[in-house]
Amino acid sequence: MPIGLAQRMLDVAPSATKAMTAQARALSAGGHDIIALTQGEPDFDTPKAICAAGVAAIRGGHTRYTTVAGIPDLRQAIAGQLDQDHDLAYAPDQIIVGSGAKQVIVNALLATLDPGDEVVVPSPCWVSYPEMTKLAGGVPIIADGMASATFKLTPALLDAAITPRTRWLILNTPSNPTGAVYTASELDALAEVLRGNDHVAVLCDEIYEQLVYSPARFASLAAMAPDLSDRILIVNGVSKAHAMTGWRIGWGAGPKPLIKAMTTIQGQTTSHASSIAQRAALEAVVGDQAHLKAFRDTLRKRRDLICEHLNRMPGLACRVPDGAFYVLVSCEAMIGRKAPDGTPIGSDVDFAMLLLERFGVAVVPGSSFRAPGHMRLSFAASTGDVVRACERLQEACDTLMAETA
């Protein structure tokens, strides 16, 4: 008899981003010339000093189990960074280090959700929030921000999404997939709604904090609304800022009882993040930070380049993102048209497939982020790839607009 799967698997989808990346890789491996704009990671190498700290950890024998919540030096350093950057006072026992921000978020949801509890997820949203919520037995309530010009959650949308069963609001700034960055006054307005709903906690996913392009400025809800601190969990990590996605280090900072419960879950599942990666992350947090600006400057140039091209292409339109390394592009004008072989393009998924199979550009369809009629392009690819991808997209748009003309 085959191994049966749990009921919960009926409802949990695999990551669409990872699926599209895998498909692009498979086509490339088969000899096709594919440019992937699907990646959720910078194309930069991890800075040398951070790698050296990892090597030194191995050589120095830091190869055994660590404390579940993370090595004390790293937790102390994270607390120091929160204090220095945002004037936020967290004790090391209010911080948990996990295997990536992803594990930290799952720990938090598992620690707090009972079956049927609701999590407000503003859309467009990162593909994993609704699925993680379902895995933890909760119900994602999508607050649809597609109608708002900035794609951001508004106080009215938040108010309408909250019910007596709401346990969490997940707030992601800068956002994956829109690159939207919440201003201090926007956070203030959301905090006002939260003050009237003291049963709602906020998971602030700030993993793209370091990737904000001036004049936009990063603002943290915890710093804006200190009165809400006992129901805010900040999630951050080294993956995106320090080009360390494969090292798998993320962290959460929040109220002690929550961190304690999350630590219990981690202790019974993965035990702790890699001892070696924790030492490398310590260097990332306390060491030279010059690479942050260098990464940001490079990504900013690519953002300007790709957005300028996209907004000149017939049938496509995008807002210039203030942060992260994604641009959410409307391809609504392409839907209803026909591919060169006569196949109708009925959705953003069809359009993304056409781009991949006929024009050699891999993007993620917006539907995966609850943004139908759109596609997400990552500009964390090399500048050469971004330029070549724009040429191919231009050809695709010209072809499709001509087909139906």
Residue 30 CB coordination number (10 Å) = 8
Element (H, E) at 286: helix 275-286
Segment interacting with ligand PLP (CB under 6 A) among 84-92, 97-105, 311-319, 391-399:
97-105
Nearer to ligand PLP, 94 or 176 (CB): 176
Edge-to-edge strand order for the sheet containing 317-318?
317-318, 326-330, 374-378, 364-365
How many Å apart are CA 111 and CA 362, to the nearest integer? 37
User: Is the distance from CB of 241 to CB of 281 less than 8 angstroms?
Assistant: no
Q: Among positive and negative, which fits the CA dihedral 213, 155, 254, 203?
A: negative
Which of 21, 66, 229, 239 forms a contact with ligand PLP (CB under 6 A)?
239
CA distances from residue 144 to 121, 140, 152, 160 in whole angstroms, order as listed: 8, 12, 9, 11
Token pair listed for 146:
């597609």
**Cα–Cα distance for residue pair 181/98, rounded to 1 Å:** 25
Q: Is 186 in the site for ligand PLP (CB under 6 A)?
A: no
Among 133, 172, 220, 298, binds ligand PLP (CB under 6 A): 172
Binding-site size for ligand PLP (CB under 6 A) equals 13
Residue with tokens 């440019």: 35
Q: Residue 154 or 172: which CB sits closer to ligand PLP?
A: 172
Q: Is residue 178 involved in binding ligand PLP (CB under 6 A)?
A: no
Q: Using the rule CB under 6 A, is 205 a contact of ligand PLP?
A: yes
Question: Would you say 241 or 313 has its CB closer to ligand PLP?
Answer: 241
Q: Which stretch binds ligand PLP (CB under 6 A): 96-104, 186-194, 196-204, 373-381?
A: 96-104
Min dist CB 204 to ligand PLP, Å, is 11
Rule CB under 6 A: which of 243-302 touch ligand PLP? 245, 250
User: Residue 335 Cβ, how far from ligand PLP at the closest point, in Å?
Assistant: 26
Which residues of this chain interact with ligand PLP, rule CB under 6 A?
40, 100-102, 126, 172, 176, 205, 207, 237, 239, 245, 250
